[in-house]
């Protein structure tokens, strides 16, 4: 098969220049591409990566302008300086008897231990001061006779006997305090059903 079109002419523009659709490079030094901005930069800022003509300082001048505007801003005269204390009015509608019994039991045990310790310390202080000896001598002389020496207070109020007596009182106090507190919780719940309970007003700490 032979080509009947003959020799085709050659175009010099395609051989030396860019193809159709290609953009010729812009003359001048190459740099980063900056897209166009929709809004202008604040006072003294940059536009398109270049400093505006007539604005000295660039972004530094804009920062100084913002700082000056904040420095000249005045506070509002009608602002309240003293915070308002918030208050809440609550009502104790019910007391759980089980929780009241546990708390009262622990508190009565702590009170009983303090009572025993306080009794022992008080006895040792009084014995060191000679109170038992003086009072015991007076009582033995008043109750004594020719046949007997009278009542011996020191042997009767010895430390082991005082501790035993105080411990018995502490145990009785634990039982009574727990029972009375639990009974008081039941009575409070019954009365709160009629009158609504105790009202409390709680305020926030200033």
Asked if residue 58 lies in contact with residue 42, where contact means CB atoms within 8 angstroms, the answer is: no
The string of pLDDT tens digits covering residues 80-96 is: 566 677 888 888 888 99
Q: What is the 3-state secondary structure (H, E, C) of 157-174?
A: CCHHHHHHHHHHHHHHHH
Whole-angstrom distance, CA of residue 86 vs CA of residue 71: 34
pTM of the shown model: 0.52
Q: Is 178 exposed, middle or buried (0-12, 13-18, 19+ CB in 10 A)?
A: buried
- For the stretch 169-203, pLDDT in tens is 999 999 999 999 999 999 999 999 888 888 888 88
Domain ranges of the chain: 88-203
């Amino acid at each position: 098969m032979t080509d009947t079109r003959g020799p085709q002419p050659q175009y010099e523009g395609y051989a030396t220049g860019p193809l159709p659709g290609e953009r010729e490079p812009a003359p001048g030094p190459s740099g980063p591409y900056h897209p166009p901005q929709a809004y202008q930069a604040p006072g003294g800022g940059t536009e398109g990566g270049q400093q505006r003509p007539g604005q000295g300082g660039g972004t530094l001048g804009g920062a100084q302008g913002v700082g000056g505007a904040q420095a000249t801003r005045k506070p509002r005269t009608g602002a309240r300086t003293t915070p308002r204390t918030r208050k809440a009015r609550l009502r104790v509608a019910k007391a759980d008897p089980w929780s009241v019994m546990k708390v009262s039991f622990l508190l009565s045990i702590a009170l009983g231990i303090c009572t025993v310790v306080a009794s022992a310390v008080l006895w040792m202080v009084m014995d060191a001061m000679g109170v038992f000896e003086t009072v015991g001598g007076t009582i033995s002389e008043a109750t004594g006779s020719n046949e007997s020496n009278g009542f011996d207070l020191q042997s009767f109020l010895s430390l082991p006997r005082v501790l035993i007596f105080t411990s018995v009182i502490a145990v009785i106090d634990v039982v009574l305090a727990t029972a009375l507190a639990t009974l008081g919780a039941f009575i409070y719940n019954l009365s709160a059903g009629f009158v609504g309970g105790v009202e409390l007003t709680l305020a926030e700490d200033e």
